[in-house]
A and B are shown apart, each in its own frame.
Chain A
Amino acid sequence: MAKAESLQGSIDLLVLKILSRRSRLHGYAIMTAIQNISGEVLRVEEGSLYPALHRMEEAGWIRAEWATKDNGRRTRIYELTASGKKQLGQEESRWESVAAAINRVLREA
């Protein structure tokens, strides 16, 4: 399961990071934001985005609410919670240590 977990972990990190910068986004906006910022390098699997959002919501990292759009349809928008901010810090430092380790290997091996 190690592989699946690390992938999930990186989705969490990206979503939390985006939401820390721009609050109150819906799922599609989060996805496009990740794609745009990464210069189309990172593509979020749409199929795994919503399960991830719901999981993080249940974990209490993000909060969701329904907003009504101009056309009368509802859309679900997300924002970061306090515990989400804390989680983001952890995820970031973990990512940085992993990235640093990988860089070291690339440099010195």
Chain B
Amino acid sequence: MSLWTRLANVFRGEQLNREIDEELSAHLEQAIASGRDPHEARMSLGSPLRLREHSRDARLVGWIVDFMQDVRYALRTLRRRPGFAAVALLTLALGSGATTVMFTVVNGVMLRPLPYAEPQRLVTLREKTQEATIYGNLWALAYPNYLDCKRDAKTLDLAAWRYFVGTAIVSGEAEYASGRQISSDLFSVLGVPVAQGRDFLPEDDRLGAAPVIILGHSFWQRRFGANSSAIGKPVILDGKSFTVVGIAPANFRLDGEEPDEFTPLGQDNSESLQRRDRHPGINAVARLRPGATLNEARAELGLIAAHLSEQYPQTNSGRGFLVESLHPDVGDVGPTLWLLLGAVILVLLIACANVASLLLARAISRERELAMRVALGAGRIRLIRQGLTESAVLGVIGGTLGVLIASLGVRPFVAYWPGTLPRAEEVQLDWRVLAFAVGISLFSGLLFGLAPALRAPTKNVEQILRAAARSLLGSSRRLHNGFVIAEIALAVVLLVAAAMLGRTILRLSSLDPGLNVRNVLVTRLAIAPSIVEPAQIRAAWQDVLAQARRVPGVESAALVDTVPMREGNNEVAYWMSATLPPVSQQPLALATSVTPDYLKVMQIPLLNGRFIDDHDRRGSELVVVIDDVLAKTAFGDADAVGKSLWLPDSASPFSSGPHGADVVRVVGVVGHVRHWGLAGDDQSQVRAQFYYPFAQVPDPLLRRWSELMSVAVRTTINPMNVLATLRREVRGATGDQVLYEVHTMEQLVSDSLARQRFLLLLFSVFAGLSLLLACIGIYGVLAYLTTQRVPEIGIRMTLGASPSAVTWLVLRQSLGMISGGVAVGAVAAMAAGRVLQHMVEGMQPIALSTFAIVLPMLVLAALLASYLPARRASRIDPMSALRQE
């Protein structure tokens, strides 16, 4: 065909078709005019469509027309066989739905950019020292350093923020509020304008300026009913009155959390904020100015750092600035999410294998039809394309159903996530999810459609046309076996993973947390903001304890700064003599500040000596009670009671300034408490613990310590039932002492396994699903293969085979596939098990017993699925089977 004809055909496609039709109808007219029967003439001319097929392949337009035709044809075939369509679509919808849900979450949490303007031009700043300490060598910026950088940097616009939590009072009602002190330009640097009112002005951001406040959107909705009249109203924050000037935009988040309110950082007059050493630290974000690159910013900040270290050698020598792109901080959920996405893709693969074997069975029964079409002149490529179009149509419909499932399923999934999923607000369907869904449906369509499509007959057309269908079976049986083996192998992997998780949960749940978790309530308490004098603070806490003990149902009450199994810890270096090793070699222990009744409340066993009592106060000898882990690490088998420990001043909770190490006396040894949670404690780097008296915390630290204290009470009744009374009793004289972060110890223990439990739940669902799909797959394949073997079975039965022998014949076939799948799966499961062990805390290595439980279960289920076709085979009537020949 000449190039010209080809090009012309592209544009003349429809015209050409019309001309062919015209020519053929002229032919018919002639035939009828010469006396032939009209019907016979039309039949012998054949379908005009078929006549066109020859010249079609060359035409682009024809290609599209073919495609539409194939899609229509595929839809028609699906409609004709609703059973097949339902099973295939349901399988695919489940597979791609589950996968899309997981991807939606991964996308929202890990892939979506931060919701600020041009987030790729945002950077963070930290300080970096040459010498590393036990805490590393990266530090939050000192406020003066930030101000210097901000003034001098030409490549960056800097902004800063800092946590500022406290008690907020709106129209007389106190609430614990999590706020931020921010520089006046934070909103503009992030490119997110305030929703109402005004932003902070540079003149607000100064010492002595009028106190103003911007409310977080949720806080404004909650406390002011989303009323614009809030602007201009007062909010009392830690005893100081602020005037509302603006409302932050909805869903505005800093470090993943929506703050309740914002106040100007420059108004904070605390002395430590102005220091370049022993400072509280601020978070700095910056936007690259137009035209500036990250490297230029790094170079410039390097120069500024060098300049500062000359100017302030005491604090800034060897101190540089680390400039990095701003990324969302999602903690450690990444591995969990990828793990789940991996698992769910296994389920999708099983679904694909299932549909592939269904399609293959159908393709074989259609082989003669296809051979006929080849004989009539259809091209091989054309047939393959049609096969692929059919499976793509299946894939796309399945994928669409999957997106529907995902859009319904993703909210419950996020809600069920243990604790709070970081960036949960970002988890939603977007173009990435849709692209992913389209991608996996087409990919899975290709995956399950390719094998059947490639079977489109080519050379031995006549042979196929002559042969009976069953003789074609040989080559397909291997493929069918392959699919079943793959499905079973994948199911084994998921089942073994689920079983490993189950075993881990069982083991971890049976661990002793080291304390009696029943009937204990722990809650943070913010003491009245007006109380600032150390003596007042001590008295206020004594009052709180006394009030708590009076609550009916409360047996004992104590204060504690870091509650076990909850986020939060205070790591302190210690040594056994006055000659301390270099900082990086000092061992660490978790220091917990408590009041004497803590032991009673938590019922931690006292192993030796005494616990802290009321005589340990400021001025008396500094004492600690250590746990058996610390006793063993520091003193080996020797009696620890009476020994001393040296705590370097940099972190000692007893000191407030640089004056050398504090010497503390060990007065008792208690049992170890799983502070890091049931799962995490064994692997945690710092396990040793000591308790020290809250009464011995020095005055300058007291206010800061008070911000972290929790009240712990042991109750004789359900601990949640004392909460209301407790809340009322401890409100204090000014009525603004509030409880927040209320938990029972039982909740905390159970939450510490939440991640493992959640994984177990999902893996069980996935494993169950994969087992079900694999069984459906085995059933389908065997039912099909058995139908194809009916004549053979008939012969066997005529020759004297008993029904049980026939059953066995079929079961043997399936046993072969099952054992193949189990063997492949076991090897894969070993590898998957190692991945799990690496990624999940407290995970035990894979055990033989796991296989011993899982494999028989799987084999049994698979045999059950094969039994139905086998039984049907044994009931074949030999005579009618033979007549089929």
Instruction: Establish whether residues A50 and B24, one from each chain, have CB atoms under 8 Å apart when the complex forms.
Output: yes
Which residue in B23, B44, B50, B55 is a CB contact (below 8 Å) of A76? B23
- Contacts A47-B45, A47-B46, A47-B50 given: A54-B55 contact, CB under 8 Å? yes
Nearest residue (CB) in A for B53 is A51
Which residue in B2, B26, B34, B41 is a CB contact (below 8 Å) of A74? B26
Q: With a CB–CB cut-off of 8 A, which chain A residues contact B24? A: 50
- Contacts A32-B34, A73-B29 given: A50-B5 contact, CB under 8 Å? no
Instruction: Establish whether residues B377 and A51, one from each chain, have CB atoms under 8 Å apart when the complex forms.
Output: yes
Contact with A along B19-37 (1 / 0, CB 8 A): 1101110110111001000
Instruction: Establish whether residues A46 and B55, one from each chain, have CB atoms under 8 Å apart when the complex forms.
Output: no
Nearest residue (CB) in A for B377 is A51
Instruction: Establish whether residues A75 and B5, one from each chain, have CB atoms under 8 Å apart when the complex forms.
Output: no
Nearest residue (CB) in B for A55 is B54
Q: Tell me if A17 counts as interface (CB < 8 A to partner B).
A: no
Instruction: Establish whether residues B46 and A46, one from each chain, have CB atoms under 8 Å apart when the complex forms.
Output: yes
Q: With a CB–CB cut-off of 8 A, which chain B residues contact A26? A: 26-27, 30
Q: Tell me if B606 counts as interface (CB < 8 A to partner A).
A: no
Q: Tell me if A58 counts as interface (CB < 8 A to partner B).
A: yes
Nearest residue (CB) in B for A28 is B30
Instruction: Establish whether residues A46 and B44, one from each chain, have CB atoms under 8 Å apart when the complex forms.
Output: yes
Q: Tell me if B51 counts as interface (CB < 8 A to partner A).
A: yes
Q: With a CB–CB cut-off of 8 A, which chain A residues contact B64? A: none
Shortest CB distance A64–B (Å): 9
Instruction: Establish whether residues A50 and B20, one from each chain, have CB atoms under 8 Å apart when the complex forms.
Output: yes
- Contacts A55-B54, A58-B1 given: A28-B22 contact, CB under 8 Å? no
Q: Report how far A26 CA is from B22 CA in the complex, Å.
A: 12
Instruction: Establish whether residues A28 and B377, one from each chain, have CB atoms under 8 Å apart when the complex forms.
Output: no
Q: Report how far A26 CA is from B459 CA in the complex, Å.
A: 35
Nearest residue (CB) in A for B25 is A73
Contact with A along B770-794 (1 / 0, CB 8 A): 0000000000000000000000000
Q: Report how far A28 CA is from B375 CA in the complex, Å.
A: 24
Q: Report how far A58 CA is from B56 CA in the complex, Å.
A: 13
Instruction: Establish whether residues B23 and A75, one from each chain, have CB atoms under 8 Å apart when the complex forms.
Output: yes
Q: With a CB–CB cut-off of 8 A, which chain A residues contact B55? A: 51, 54-55, 58
Q: With a CB–CB cut-off of 8 A, which chain B residues contact A76? A: 19, 22-23, 26
Q: Report how far A75 CA is from B30 CA in the complex, Å.
A: 10
Q: Report how far A74 CA is from B24 CA in the complex, Å.
A: 11
- Contacts A46-B45, A47-B51, A55-B54 given: A27-B23 contact, CB under 8 Å? yes
Q: Report how far A100 CA is from B816 CA in the complex, Å.
A: 59
Q: Which residues of chain A in 38-56 are interfacial with respect to chain B, using CB atoms and an 8 Å cutoff?
A: 45-47, 50-51, 54-55
Q: With a CB–CB cut-off of 8 A, which chain A residues contact B20? A: 50, 54
Nearest residue (CB) in B for A45 is B44
Q: Report how far A68 CA is from B34 CA in the complex, Å.
A: 19
Q: Report how far A31 CA is from B46 CA in the complex, Å.
A: 15
Which residue in B23, B34, B44 is a CB contact (below 8 Å) of A47? B44
- In the complex, how many residues of chain B place their beta carbon closer than 8 angstroms to a beta carbon of chain A? 26
Contact with A along B228-254 (1 / 0, CB 8 A): 000000000000000000000000000
Q: With a CB–CB cut-off of 8 A, which chain A residues contact B34? A: 28, 32
Determine the main DSSP class of B at the interface with A: helix
- Contacts A32-B34, A46-B45 given: A54-B54 contact, CB under 8 Å? yes
Q: Report how far A4 CA is from B54 CA in the complex, Å.
A: 14
Q: Report how far A74 CA is from B462 CA in the complex, Å.
A: 39
Q: With a CB–CB cut-off of 8 A, which chain B residues contact A1? A: 459
Q: Report how far A4 CA is from B376 CA in the complex, Å.
A: 10
Shortest CB distance B3–A (Å): 12
Contact with A along B208-224 (1 / 0, CB 8 A): 00000000000000000
Q: Which residues of chain A in 4-44 are interfacial with respect to chain B, using CB atoms and an 8 Å cutoff?
A: 4, 26-29, 32
Shortest CB distance B55–A (Å): 6
Shortest CB distance A36–B (Å): 11
Instruction: Establish whether residues B51 and A50, one from each chain, have CB atoms under 8 Å apart when the complex forms.
Output: yes
Instruction: Establish whether residues A75 and B26, one from each chain, have CB atoms under 8 Å apart when the complex forms.
Output: yes
Shortest CB distance A9–B (Å): 15
Instruction: Establish whether residues A28 and B31, one from each chain, have CB atoms under 8 Å apart when the complex forms.
Output: yes
Nearest residue (CB) in A for B19 is A76
Q: Which residues of chain A in 74-88 are interfacial with respect to chain B, using CB atoms and an 8 Å cutoff?
A: 74-76
Among B22, B23, B24, residue most surrounded by chain A Cβ atoms (within 10 Å): B23
Q: Report how far A29 CA is from B30 CA in the complex, Å.
A: 9
Instruction: Establish whether residues A27 and B54, one from each chain, have CB atoms under 8 Å apart when the complex forms.
Output: no
Q: With a CB–CB cut-off of 8 A, which chain A residues contact B27? A: 26-28, 46, 50
Nearest residue (CB) in B for A32 is B34
Q: With a CB–CB cut-off of 8 A, which chain B residues contact A45? A: 44
Shortest CB distance A58–B (Å): 5
Q: With a CB–CB cut-off of 8 A, which chain A residues contact B1? A: 58
Q: With a CB–CB cut-off of 8 A, which chain A residues contact B50? A: 47
Q: Report how far A64 CA is from B23 CA in the complex, Å.
A: 11
Instruction: Establish whether residues B5 and A58, one from each chain, have CB atoms under 8 Å apart when the complex forms.
Output: yes
Q: Report how far A1 CA is from B377 CA in the complex, Å.
A: 11
Q: Which residues of chain B in 49-64 are interfacial with respect to chain A, using CB atoms and an 8 Å cutoff?
A: 50-51, 54-55
Instruction: Establish whether residues B23 and A50, one from each chain, have CB atoms under 8 Å apart when the complex forms.
Output: yes
Shortest CB distance A8–B (Å): 10
Q: Which residues of chain B in 520-571 are interfacial with respect to chain A, using CB atoms and an 8 Å cutoff?
A: none
Q: With a CB–CB cut-off of 8 A, which chain A residues contact B29? A: 73
Instruction: Establish whether residues A51 and B51, one from each chain, have CB atoms under 8 Å apart when the complex forms.
Output: yes
Q: With a CB–CB cut-off of 8 A, which chain B residues contact A3? A: 462
Q: Which residues of chain B in 430-475 are interfacial with respect to chain A, using CB atoms and an 8 Å cutoff?
A: 459, 462
Contact with A along B48-88 (1 / 0, CB 8 A): 00110011000000000000000000000000000000000
Q: Report how far A103 CA is from B34 CA in the complex, Å.
A: 37
- Contacts A32-B34, A54-B55, A58-B5 given: A73-B45 contact, CB under 8 Å? no
Shortest CB distance A6–B (Å): 14
Q: Report how far A95 CA is from B774 CA in the complex, Å.
A: 60
Among A1, A29, A46, A54, residue most surrounded by chain B Cβ atoms (within 10 Å): A46
Q: Report how far A28 CA is from B41 CA in the complex, Å.
A: 11
Q: With a CB–CB cut-off of 8 A, which chain B residues contact A74? A: 22, 26
Q: Report how far A26 CA is from B45 CA in the complex, Å.
A: 15
Q: With a CB–CB cut-off of 8 A, which chain A residues contact B459? A: 1
Q: With a CB–CB cut-off of 8 A, which chain B residues contact A75? A: 23, 26
Instruction: Establish whether residues A73 and B26, one from each chain, have CB atoms under 8 Å apart when the complex forms.
Output: yes
Q: With a CB–CB cut-off of 8 A, which chain B residues contact A58? A: 1-2, 5, 55
Nearest residue (CB) in A for B16 is A54
Shortest CB distance A41–B (Å): 17
Shortest CB distance B48–A (Å): 9
Shortest CB distance A19–B (Å): 16
Shortest CB distance A82–B (Å): 16
Nearest residue (CB) in A for B5 is A58
Q: Report how far A25 CA is from B313 CA in the complex, Å.
A: 106
Q: Report how far A50 CA is from B20 CA in the complex, Å.
A: 9
Q: Report how far A75 CA is from B31 CA in the complex, Å.
A: 13
Contact with A along B124-152 (1 / 0, CB 8 A): 00000000000000000000000000000
Nearest residue (CB) in A for B23 is A76
Shortest CB distance A48–B (Å): 8
Nearest residue (CB) in B for A64 is B23
Shortest CB distance A20–B (Å): 21
Among A26, A74, A76, residue most surrounded by chain B Cβ atoms (within 10 Å): A76
Q: With a CB–CB cut-off of 8 A, which chain B residues contact A32? A: 34
Contact with A along B851-871 (1 / 0, CB 8 A): 000000000000000000000
Shortest CB distance B177–A (Å): 82
Q: Report how far A3 CA is from B461 CA in the complex, Å.
A: 11
Shortest CB distance B588–A (Å): 81
| Residues of B near any A CB (own CB < 8 A) | 1-2, 5, 19-20, 22-24, 26-27, 29-31, 34, 41, 44-46, 50-51, 54-55, 375, 377, 459, 462
Given contacts A47-B44, A50-B20, A51-B54, 8 further A-B contacts (CB under 8 A): A3-B462, A28-B27, A50-B23, A50-B24, A58-B1, A58-B5, A74-B26, A75-B26
A sample of 12 cross-chain residue pairs with beta-carbon separation below 8 angstroms, ordered by A number, consists of: A27-B23, A27-B26, A28-B26, A32-B34, A47-B45, A47-B50, A47-B51, A50-B51, A58-B2, A58-B55, A75-B26, A76-B23
Q: Which 7 pairs, one residue from A and one from B, show the smallest C-beta to C-beta distance?
A: A47-B46, A28-B30, A76-B23, A75-B26, A51-B54, A46-B45, A46-B44
